[in-house]
Structure 1
Amino acid sequence: MIGSNLLERRSKPERIADQAWRHLTSAVNSAGDSVRDTARSARLNGLTFADDAGDLVGGAAEEARRRAVLAFDALAGRRPALPWALLIGAALAGAAIGWAAGSAARAVGSRSDRDPDDIEFVDVDRPNSPAGLDT
């Protein structure tokens, strides 16, 4: 009660100043919270944007570095290395395709219903054949 009596006994300008001070501190605190939230949101969005940009720039930098090394090697007279992984992969793929084709051909040959001795040859009379092949 003593504090409330003291507040009531102040002059009108002091009460207005006190009320204005309270409004000001409330507004500053509210603005600070708003700025903090905005800054946090901007920081998170900025980090996401920076991460995406970093990935893009990192990829471009890696490609530029690779091309620079190739250009330097070309200027130095060095030939590029053979792509051994690609060559070995192509050889393995070719071997697999050849094996599959051979297996399929053997399978088709073994399934034949005819015996090779059962093949009939037909004589055809060809008129006017040269060198007497018809006789």
Structure 2
Amino acid sequence: FCDIASVSLGMLYFNIYINGNLAYQDLDISDATDYVLASPYYIDFVVDDEHSSSSSASGLISVCVGPSSKSVEHAVDAILNGVEIMKMNNTLASLDGFVSSEMILSRCPNRRNLSLFISMVAFVCILISVY
């Protein structure tokens, strides 16, 4: 967040909503940035898609800003113009689902043979290109 619209400190208060739920109430961006105008500030939120409401169970995340009860009348309203989303892995070290990469690799019995075959093909290609 960054207050680039206010002409004075302490004029911008807003609420942050994630998937329709209040995530942060009465954010005072001036206080959060040590009372420096146009100073960036970030907040991290973790959203668990499995245990969220039905609207986010489809994989959609809604992030909104809205007016606070502490907002000054005729002051600038908050505008959300960017969100950075990072996907976190689960306890299986998987980014998607219930199968880890270790489980897939351990079930591939010919892994050693495959790497030997690829190495031999690469060696033959190098020999052909040299001659």
TM-score w.r.t. the length of structure 1 is 0.28
Higher relative contact order (CA 8 A, sep 6+): 2
More strand by share: 2
Q: Please identify which structure carries the higher helix content.
A: 1
